[in-house]
Amino acid sequence: MQVEISASFRKQIDDNLLSALITISLQCEEFLEQLTVMMKVDCIDPDLGFEMKLKLVQSRAEQLVRQEAAALSESKRQKYGLQQKVKSQKDQLERKELHIQLLKKKVSDPEEEKRS
């Protein structure tokens, strides 16, 4: 069973589809423009096609991911270094406290002998 579609109805459907495609295309272009601004991709030539703009944004995203990974790695390295420094300072403080206790004992021992 085939349904006959009139030429005017077919044209209306085609016009609606074309209108929807144009709207979607404009929305995609606008979204891509917003992405380029947010990702600070400044050097996009307005004459470049949609595919090339997408590739530029993708390249920038990859660059940002690499930079973030490097920054995270550096942050972890610094954190480890600081943790080691804190541990070293705590150990040094413990040694000095022990040394002070020994000196106090050394000073108090002769005083106790004199009293006895």
Higher pLDDT, 1 or 85: 85
- 75 found inside a domain: yes
- 25 found inside a domain: no
Q: Per-residue pLDDT tens for 50-69? A: 888 889 899 999 999 999 99
- 3 found inside a domain: no
Q: What angle do CA 99, 100, 102 make, to 5 degrees?
A: 65
- 54 found inside a domain: yes
Confidence of residue 116 (pLDDT cuts 50, 70, 90): low
Contact (Cβ atoms closer than 8 angstroms) between residue 49 and residue 29: no
Higher pLDDT, 43 or 28: 28
- 103 found inside a domain: yes
Token pair of 39 as six digits: 């990702």
> Which range of residues forms the domain containing residue 99?
39-115
Q: In total, how many domains does the chain have?
A: 1
DSSP structure string for 54-106: HHHHHHHHHHHHHHHHHHHHHHHHHHHHHHHHHHHHHHHHHHHHHHHHHHHHH
Token pair of 97 as six digits: 């406290």
Token pair of 43 as six digits: 């050097």
- 108 found inside a domain: yes
- 11 found inside a domain: no
Higher pLDDT, 98 or 45: 98
- 22 found inside a domain: no
